[in-house]
Structures are given as structure tokens and as C-alpha cells.
């Protein structure tokens, strides 16, 4: 009798561990079919265009900084725009905190910025690289070998749901993928639904949305793989989270007590047999 009880208990433990192992293998691994997926040059989606309301930090430099002063408004090197990633519920800066330096230009409703000396520069349908190249070409008419830096000061994304750190995050280089964003948020929790990550996008007044399956490497070819300014990422919870929330918080203690009881009974039976 004792051996039967202990054998049954051992089988239950093995089955439980096997289920957990399979669940971890199937549900927690990202991009499981990466070897079979052909990457369709996701660069075609990576060139985020500048939108109205974007705050562009543009700095013109050259060997002789006095020559480029007219192109930098009244900016001085002491002026800096400090941006940092903050966690929900507090102002704890991320280790990746960085500083943007340079004059700031806000893109108006017509897609224009008013640049010193040059005048109006239209950014409609252009990427940061496009604007950078255009400004370099125009400034080169006045300055030999100028260096142009263009960055977005207000490129923010929002990450909510089953992640370890919800909140708003600033991306100082103006480019982030869905994987970068989840990395900033400390990855999904154990209850995060990796097959159903929602991305909500507002672009030029139009709201669109898409779903991302983190287990499928085809996410690299999704138009929502490369994020845009203002994107919101929402990670759904699994059914396990719902079941766990309904369970009695003492369930674990009950199961432990039962296992101890089964062992005790087995020991007592063994003593009587002796």
C-alpha cells in the first residue's frame, strides 16, 4: 500500500513537471521558427517619416564653430535637452538615459520648419535621414564640410499590460522595434500572451492597429515591427492569469499540506506492517 501511494505521488509530480516544461517550451520562446523565415528586408518599414508636431533637434557643426553659429539660432553648448525612460508610478531613470543637444524646431501643420538662413524646410513624407541630407546640401553652400545632426526629441511609445515595467518611454534616436520596446519594459511577465501583442498607431490623425505574434519570426516583416512616434503597445494576459486571480491564495498551502498528509499516511501504514 505504501509503495502504491508513493508511486502515485511520484507520477503526479513527474506529469506536473512535464506539463510545465512543455508549456515553457511552447509558450515562452520568441521567434521559434526564425530559421525557416525569409526576412523580406524590413528596412522598407524602418524609415519612419516625420509627422506634424514632431520636435526636431538639429545641430550644425563644422571645424570652425563660429562659421555655423547663424545656423544654430542662439543656441549654446550649455543648452541640453535631457530625456530618460521612466517607469510607471515613479521617475526612476533608465540606465540608458541620454542627452540631446541642439536647437529644437517644431514641425508645423504644413510639415514645415523655419530654419535659420535657409528659410522654410518641408519635412512631409521625409525621414530624419532625408532631412539631414537636405540640410547638409543647403548648408554646404555657405560652409565647407558641415556636419548635420537631426534627432527627434519627443519620439515616445507607451507600453501597457503584462510587462514588468509599464509606462511611457522616450526613444532618442527616433527608431525602435517591437523587441526594443519590450526590452525597455523589462520583457513580458510569465502571464503575458506572447501570441497576441496589440500595437495601436495614430499617424496623421488616422488610428490603425495590428497584432504581433512574438513566437512567429514573421513578425520581422510586419508593418508594426518597426515602431512609430506615439505607438501604444498592449500585452494581453493569458487565461492562466485569469484562473490564478480566481484561485484561493491559500491553494498552494493546501496542496503542500495534502502532499505532507499523503507521505505521513504512507509512513504510518509502513509502521503497522512492521
Q: pLDDT above 90 covers what percent of the chain?
A: 43
Q: Which CATH superfamily is domain 30-46+157-240 in?
A: Outer membrane lipoprotein wza domain like (3.10.560.10)
Helix (H) / strand (E) element for 83: namely strand 81-83
Query: pLDDT by residue (tens digit) across 71-100?
Result: 997 655 444 444 444 434 333 344 444 556
Q: Where are the domains of the chain?
A: 2-25+243-273, 30-46+157-240, 55-152
C-beta of residue 236 within 8 angstroms of C-beta of residue 161: yes
Q: Say what the pLDDT of residue 177 is.
A: 92
- Mean pLDDT, to the nearest integer, of 194-223? 90
Residue 154 C-alpha from the chain's centroid:
16
pTM metric for this prediction: 0.63
How far apart are the C-alpha atoms of 18 and 220, rounded to whole Å? Answer: 31
pLDDT, residue 30, reads 65
Mean pLDDT value across residues 240-246: 66
Residues in the chain: 274
* Cα-Cα end-to-end distance for the chain: 13
What's 55-152's CATH class? alpha beta
Q: Which of 105-114, 121-130, 196-205 has the lowest mean pLDDT?
A: 196-205
Rounded to the nearest 5°, which phi and psi values hold at 206? -105, 130
Q: What pairs with residue 257 in β-bridges?
A: none
Amino acid at each position: 500500500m505504501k509503495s502504491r501511494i508513493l508511486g502515485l505521488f511520484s507520477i503526479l509530480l513527474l506529469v506536473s513537471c512535464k506539463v510545465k516544461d512543455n508549456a515553457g517550451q511552447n509558450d515562452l520562446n520568441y521567434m521559434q521558427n526564425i530559421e525557416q523565415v525569409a526576412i523580406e528586408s524590413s528596412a522598407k518599414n524602418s524609415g519612419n517619416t516625420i509627422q506634424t508636431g514632431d520636435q526636431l533637434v538639429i545641430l550644425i557643426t563644422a571645424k570652425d564653430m563660429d562659421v555655423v553659429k547663424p545656423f544654430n539660432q542662439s543656441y549654446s553648448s550649455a543648452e541640453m535637452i535631457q530625456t530618460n525612460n521612466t517607469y510607471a508610478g515613479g521617475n526612476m531613470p533608465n540606465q540608458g538615459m541620454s542627452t540631446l543637444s541642439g536647437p529644437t524646431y517644431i514641425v508645423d501643420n504644413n510639415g514645415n520648419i523655419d530654419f535659420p538662413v535657409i528659410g522654410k524646410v518641408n519635412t512631409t513624407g521625409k525621414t530624419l535621414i532625408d532631412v539631414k541630407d537636405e540640410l547638409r546640401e543647403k548648408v554646404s553652400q555657405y560652409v565647407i564640410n558641415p556636419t548635420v545632426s537631426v534627432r527627434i526629441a519627443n519620439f515616445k511609445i507607451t507600453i501597457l499590460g503584462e510587462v514588468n515595467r509599464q509606462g511611457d518611454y522616450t526613444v532618442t534616436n527616433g527608431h525602435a522595434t517591437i523587441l526594443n520596446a519590450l526590452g525597455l519594459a523589462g520583457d513580458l511577465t510569465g502571464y503575458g500572451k506572447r501570441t497576441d501583442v496589440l500595437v495601436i498607431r495614430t499617424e496623421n490623425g488616422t488610428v490603425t492597429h495590428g497584432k504581433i505574434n512574438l513566437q512567429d519570426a514573421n513578425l520581422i516583416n510586419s508593418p508594426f515591427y518597426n515602431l512609430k512616434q506615439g505607438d501604444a503597445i498592449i500585452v494581453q494576459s493569458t487565461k492562466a492569469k485569469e484562473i490564478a486571480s480566481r484561485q484561493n491564495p491559500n491553494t498552494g498551502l493546501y496542496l503542500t499540506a495534502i502532499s505532507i498528509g499523503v507521505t505521513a499516511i504512507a509512513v504510518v501504514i509502513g509502521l503497522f506492517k512492521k
